[in-house]
Amino acid sequence: MATYRAKCWLGSSSGYQDLEVKANTVTGAKEQFERIYGAEQVINLSEVRGGSGESSSSSGSGEGIFGLALIVGAIWALMTFLPWVLMGIGGFFGAWAGNKTGKVSLAIILSLLAGGFGYYQGDKWQQEMNSDAPVEQIKK
């Protein structure tokens, strides 16, 4: 038995109401709206899919895989473009700090300096991550 939902006119005292019934057919659902609720007009009659009491399939596993792929892709992009990412972040914060003073020239200078430092630091970190130099252990 399926659940059907419709907007029904119940008279001027109640107006339009959203109602639900369980029925085997659309015609049976319309008859129930008219008989049980006294609906004078039934509009937007449709079957409710996956409502309460009904089992519904979920696409959670597909969403989980997509989310995991998105996170892995973001980490890869961050590691690949680390100097550029840090340059953008540094430039943004430099411009933000310069705008707090109200001077455009200071905002531009701080943006360039902070962005340049971000690029330098990001390039340095990226070279350290990609280096194949052996790690030396010092024993006392």
Contact 6, 33 (CB under 8 A): yes
Contact 115, 91 (CB under 8 A): yes
- The helix (run of H) or strand (run of E) holding residue 23 is strand 16-23
* Angle between helical axes of 82-101 and 60-80 (0-180°, round to 10): 80
Distance CA 2, CA 139 (A): 75
Going along the chain from its start, the domains and CATH numbers come out as 2-48 (3.10.20), 60-128 (no CATH)
**Residue 134 backbone phi and psi in degrees, to 5:** -70, 150
pLDDT tens digits for range 58-114: 555 678 889 899 999 999 988 889 999 999 999 999 999 988 988 888 889 999 999
pLDDT tens digits for range 7-61: 999 988 889 999 999 999 999 999 999 999 999 999 999 998 865 544 444 555 6
Contact 37, 8 (CB under 8 A): yes
**Confidence at residue 56, expressed as pLDDT on a 0 to 100 scale:** 47
